Amino acid sequence: MENLFKNKTVLILDGDKGLALGCAQLFTCLGAHVILTFAEPVKDGIAILESAKLKDARILSLDLTSSKSTRSSLKGVHETSPKIDILISVVDKFRSFESFESFDENIFTDELKTTTWPFFEVLIAIREIFGSCPDYAIAALEESGRKNAGTISKNMIETLSRYMATNYLYENCRVNVLRVQKSSDLGFEVSEKQAAKTIVTMCSGLLDSMSGQVLCLDKGMACAI
Amino acid sequence: MVFNDYKNKAVLVTGGTSGIGLATGLAFGRLGAQVYLTHRWGSVSNDEIFVEFEKQKCMLPIIVEADASLKKDTQSLIDTIVEKHSFIETFVSNVAFGHVSKHPSDLESRSLLTTLKYNAWPILDYLKTIKKVTGKFPRYAVGMSSRGPDTYLQGYDFIAASKAAMEALCQNLTAALIDEDIRINMLCPNTILTRSFEATFEPEFKYHLENSLGKYGDYFVLKAERVANAVLALCGGGMDDYKGQVLNLDQGACFSENLNMAYKYFAKENT
């Protein structure tokens, strides 16, 4: 099992997040070459990787809100890696609009640029630059437990994922969304370790018949409450 | 890739002697599990199944005739398993049988109840009996649903309703057993060309799927082995916090299954 992902390249966006690091550790244990993206400065990324015992992982400095930066960085990766086999994006920091007054198009537009769109920007750019899609693209949405948090963005990510799965249907590219219950007062919180195992399982080949799906990792919370 | 060790563990697959059931049995067999396969009619000989398990270097399965709708058969089956194993690690409810309607006038409540008995209730009966006999629930239970509840398949009324009942039942059971060490999930595979498919749909439809849809047909039709792999994913330890869910397996093909895409496809084919 330790060589399951040998010679595979895994690109994980926003590498400073707990689940991103958990995935990086597990994929590394299973033989993958892992690249984590960080916004500037890179030295912070080095420190994070060292403390996460991920010295072999590669850091990619990348402003995910900039199409130009995304493409330029990916072109650099393409010089040494012929393919990105797996793309993982851990998405959190969703805004919640609770009162009528708090609804603001500018805030939503900002969330769209920073949270909703980067996964798709990178997926499309990989297809253009590497000439092939990743075999697996997963957007992991962390559920904060706050009411209505990110509902609009999450709906968009889920719908766009279904469309991308269909757009790339014949390109051996599976696009799926994993909703992870990160915070719960009632004992339904999913650990980063377990969520990382689920993401790895989704990329293991066992679920190759699944694409364009939204999975809820919530210990059964949706049924029980 | 599974995280759990299945060596010598008991895995029960109902409707296990052909199609998805047999593929699932073989998948667990390859992990070293002792697989129990049930059947009602035994249309495939035990010898053929043993040869397949031997070929794949698996422990030979134990094949038991058991009608999933009969409590006495379920009890006897679980009694047989506990002679060798103190608990059942994984239970896969794969039995599917029901009334295929030719016209709405042949839909009767008696047929609906029979269809329910084979599609929805077995998962409950098996879990109750396993708990009663072994003292614990299996760690994993997987039910096999179908696309019927979400898309119209002619003549499939009662089977679709029964699958919908099973999906809701699994979610209710997940809630009722939320503190137990059990994960109950459903798989919803798209079209698989098994004997059950042949018994349900007209032969021309199979030909159409295989020959008239080009590459899309390859994605639309699923292989039983791929469903078996998904069962392993659910029961392999990597998805232990995944509970009470219905997972669609359609290779991404179904989202584009609509008249607009059919028009584009056939218009292109005909020019």
pLDDT tens profile B7-36: 999 999 999 999 999 999 999 999 999 999
In this predicted structure, the answer to whether residue B168 has a pLDDT above a threshold of 90 is: yes
Residue B14 lies in a domain: yes
- In the prediction, which pLDDT does B248 show? 97
Q: How confident is the model at residue A15 (pLDDT cuts 50, 70, 90)?
A: confident
In this predicted structure, the answer to whether residue B163 has a pLDDT above a threshold of 70 is: yes
* Mean pLDDT calculated for residue range B243-269: 89
In this predicted structure, the answer to whether residue B199 has a pLDDT above a threshold of 80 is: no
Q: Which residues of B touch A215 (CB under 8 A)?
A: 242, 245, 247
* Mean pLDDT calculated for residue range B154-170: 93
* Mean pLDDT calculated for residue range B45-74: 94
Residue B152 lies in a domain: yes
Q: How confident is the model at residue B193 (pLDDT cuts 50, 70, 90)?
A: confident
Instruction: Tell me which of B209 and B90 has the higher pLDDT.
Output: B90
Residue B2 lies in a domain: no
Query: What CATH number corresponds to the domain at position B140?
Result: 3.40.50.720
Q: Which residues of B touch A202 (CB under 8 A)?
A: 233
Q: How confident is the model at residue B269 (pLDDT cuts 50, 70, 90)?
A: low
Residues of the domain holding B158? 10-269
A201–B239: do the CB atoms touch at under 8 Å? yes
- The CA distances from residue A134 to A10, A17, A56, A68, in Å, are 9, 22, 21, 20
- In the prediction, which pLDDT does A187 show? 86
Q: Which residues of A touch B238 (CB under 8 A)?
A: 197-198, 200-201, 204
d(CA B216, CA B191): 13
Count of pairs with CB atoms under 8 A, one residue in A, one in B: 113
Fold of A9-224: Rossmann fold (3.40.50)
Predicted TM-score (pTM) of the model is 0.93
Between A96-105, B26-35, B169-178, the lowest mean confidence (pLDDT) is in: A96-105
* Mean pLDDT calculated for residue range A105-119: 90
- In the prediction, which pLDDT does A77 show? 95
| Residue A220 touches partner B, C-beta closer than 8 Å | yes
What residue spans define the domains of chain A? 9-224
| Residue A10 touches partner B, C-beta closer than 8 Å | no
Residue B3 lies in a domain: no
- The CA distances from residue B253 to B235, B249, B268, in Å, are 25, 9, 18
